Structure 1
Amino acid sequence: MPTENRDDSLLARLASRGGQREAAFLAPHHLAAADRLERLIQRAQLVPRVTMSYDPTRVGGRSGAGNDVLSATEASAAARRKLSALADNLPPDCWGVLFDVCGLGKGLQLVETERRWPRRSAKLVLRIGLEQLAAHLGLSPHATGAGSGATRNWLEARLPLIADEPL
């Protein structure tokens, strides 16, 4: 489920402003990067299932189906290759926190407890990781490029509202 659709999401809370003068901890490009990573992890089928599925296409056993590269579809195998490339390009601690938060839905306090980090350190590592991921994906806080977000129109000139000649 994409991050922006969840009201109780950790990332959504970090992106909201605490007060009128306070800036949000995460910028929109951070949320976009987290959303792309979350969708990529879902496509890679790396998140464990919590409930039993009686769908014959998902039940393993006959063909040796499991959670390995041989049984994965080509789309999930390509997503796993992309995730592997991302993991190679990001710092290991940042990648671990990004995967735990965006992929597995863990909270920051749980991440800090599991890694024996000081309080509020996972929040900073998460922001650093999202900044690195956004830069790797080509996302920036400001529009860049030839037009830098300039509005363009397909009409060369506006059409007149009232025609000169009566019909």
Structure 2
Amino acid sequence: MQNIPQAPLPGWVPLETCRYLQHTEAGRPIRQLARKAGCHPSTILRQVRRVETLRDDPLIDEVLTYLAGRYQAAALKPGPAAGKQAAPRGLSAGFEQEAASVLTLLSRGGAVLAAAEGMEMAVVVREGAEADGQKVAVSRPLAGALALTGWIACSRQGRISRYSITTAGRAALNRIIADQENRARARLEGGFAEAQVPFAAHEAPGGGGYGRKPRYGSSETPLEMLARLADKDGNPFLSPGMVTAGKRLREDFELAQISGHLRQEKLYFTQASRAMRSSSQEAGAAARERMTDALQKLGAGLSDIALRCCCHLEGLETAERNLGWPARSGKVVLRIALQHLAEYYGEGREQEAELIG
């Protein structure tokens, strides 16, 4: 049995399970696995015994039986390419999305995954006072994979076993969501992403345009991306007043910059250029004063994240890295800053004529 080639396993299979199958199905000695892993043979032995104990769970036993069938298929069809197909040690995109959808349902209060003997599907339901009567079907192989990875655990075993999300499952859900957000942000911020977006605003079907055209092009700013998020109750993460306040800070920043360039032009081309309108200078000076006053009221920390994300259009991940903040903390701090900006700018729009757009 030691000549059986290693079967390609999915990337979500834990390393302990891979070593268990290599020992039980491919017949690889414990010492050989320990040399390859760079650890003591007793460590591999404990891992093998731990996985063997997990087979008391029917879902895990079904998944391990399926994975063991890969080794049996590799033994029946040996070839030079069988040992070269090694699955990457990471989650595949398809498994990530399916696991995240199930873990999101289980993270709600009172939600459990129920799996009955002889049934092809498991269901996610909510128990207790928070029960809403809704049931979501989940395939047994996916439920078994979640149990094998340790993201769900059996809380009550019987004819109908109940599984709850574990601490490792919540951490995995946060990591998957963060990875998805980072990949989406990288597609927008990285490389020549702005070259893929046309300068002209898209028009709605029927020839009619939107109520208001974008001021900085059609690409989404970090503020607009954050405005699309929702909290745990389904409410928008940012209120319309916060979004408007962030855009007003961006407007004042741009007006102040334009006014500075015009002043430099007047000083350099005094004889050749026409006299500048005093209203342009006054508008730029007023915008600079408003922006400076707003940032001073925010103070250190809040002003840093507001200036980077609202004015310089710096992504949240980049701003967190440059400021030395923990991951995923920038959106909370930016939300607090936008609350103060909304109070500063107020609800009035008496200065709308001075805006760029």
TM-score, scaled to structure 1: 0.61
1:32 partner letter: T
- Contact kept, 8 Å, 2:223 with 2:243, in 1: the verdict is yes
1:51-90, aligned counterparts within 5 Å? Answer: 73-90=281-298
1:92 partner letter: A
Superposition deviation, residue 24 in structure 1: 1.9
Larger radius of gyration: 2
Change (3 A) 1:2 1:30: farther
Superposition deviation, residue 127 in structure 1: 0.2
2:238 partner letter: L
Superposition deviation, residue 7 in structure 1: 5.1
1:30 pairs with one of 228, 239, 242? 242
Quote the Cα distance in structure 2 between the aligned partners of 1:108 and 1:136.
Answer: 23
Match of 2:319 in 1: 111
Quote the Cα distance in structure 2 between the aligned partners of 1:124 and 1:107.
Answer: 14
Deviations 1:136-157 (A, max 9, x none): 12249xxxxxxxxxxxxxxxxx
Q: Secondary structure of 2:257's partner?
A: coil
Change (3 A) 1:35 1:2: farther
Match of 1:122 in 2: 330
- Contact kept, 8 Å, 2:222 with 2:314, in 1: the verdict is no
Change (3 A) 1:45 1:96: same
Could you say which structure has the greater relative contact order, defined with CA pairs below 8 angstroms and 6 or more residues apart? 1
Match of 1:14 in 2: 226
CA RMSD across the alignment: 3.3
Quote the Cα distance in structure 2 between the aligned partners of 1:26 and 1:6.
Answer: 20
Quote the Cα distance in structure 1 between the aligned partners of 2:239 and 2:229.
Answer: 10
- Contact kept, 8 Å, 2:253 with 2:287, in 1: the verdict is yes
Structure with the higher fraction of residues in strand conformation: 2
- Contact kept, 8 Å, 1:38 with 1:103, in 2: the verdict is yes
Quote the Cα distance in structure 1 between the aligned partners of 2:269 and 2:302.
Answer: 39
Superposition deviation, residue 31 in structure 1: 0.7
Match of 1:133 in 2: 341
Alignment of 1:94 onto 2:306: no
Specify every segment of 5 or more residues in structure 1 that has no aligned partner in the other structure, as ranges.
50-56, 64-71, 141-167
TM-score, scaled to structure 2: 0.30
In the TM superposition, structure 1's runs of 4+ consecutive aligned residues that sit over 4 Å from their partners are 17-21, 57-63
Aligned length: 123
Change (3 A) 1:112 1:35: same
Change (3 A) 1:107 1:59: farther
Specify every segment of 5 or more residues in structure 2 that has no aligned partner in the other structure, as ranges.
1-213, 271-279, 349-357
Give the percent of matched residue pairs that are identical in Structure 1 and Structure 2: 29
Q: Secondary structure of 1:73's partner?
A: helix
Change (3 A) 1:101 1:34: same
Superposition deviation, residue 109 in structure 1: 0.7
Quote the Cα distance in structure 2 between the aligned partners of 1:96 and 1:88.
Answer: 11
- Contact kept, 8 Å, 2:222 with 2:310, in 1: the verdict is no
Quote the Cα distance in structure 1 between the aligned partners of 2:232 and 2:319.
Answer: 30
Quote the Cα distance in structure 1 between the aligned partners of 2:331 and 2:229.
Answer: 15
Quote the Cα distance in structure 2 between the aligned partners of 1:20 and 1:75.
Answer: 42
